[in-house]
Structure 1
């Protein structure tokens, strides 16, 4: 008779309600893609989230202040 043992992996880290990916590009000069999870405040719109995330990236990379948005994805963080 064989037995099977299942072990649990590490506990998942706390995550936000939504997963996001945002790519900004300065044509011919540089590009950045960042991603993460976040729980937007109640009543926030998709535009509100985009503007907040873009400002967050620009605060870290001031040279991206006038960058073009190449890609933006915002999805519920569940399977």
Structure 2
């Protein structure tokens, strides 16, 4: 019987936030509505709430993408970024 040992090495993952988030926005436009989904990582400050994180993430998306101003949030999730 031939046995082989496989050793897997992995490089350390780049630094990420402590939480992973996903947000879907519905954007009204001239021909109806469009949707966009974004995701990323976030590290809340001590004492932060889910509501604080929501506001910071939404505001950040609007700052980076002014065309999203006035959009409606149809989905938001934030969870610990660990497996």
Normalised TM-score (structure 1): 0.88
Q: Does 1:3 align with 2:4?
A: yes
Deviations 1:18-68 (A, max 9, x none): 110011111424222110111111111111100100011101211211100
Equivalents in 2 of 1:23, 1:42: separation in Å? 26
Which residues of 2 match residues 1-79 of structure 1 at below 5 A?
1-27=2-28, 28-79=32-83
**Aligned alpha-carbon RMSD (Å):** 1.3
Equivalents in 2 of 1:11, 1:17: separation in Å? 16
Looking at CA atoms only, which structure, 1 or 2, has the larger radius of gyration? 2
Give secondary structure in 2 for the equivalent of 1:51.
helix
The alignment covers a number of residue pairs equal to 79
Equivalents in 2 of 1:46, 1:2: separation in Å? 51
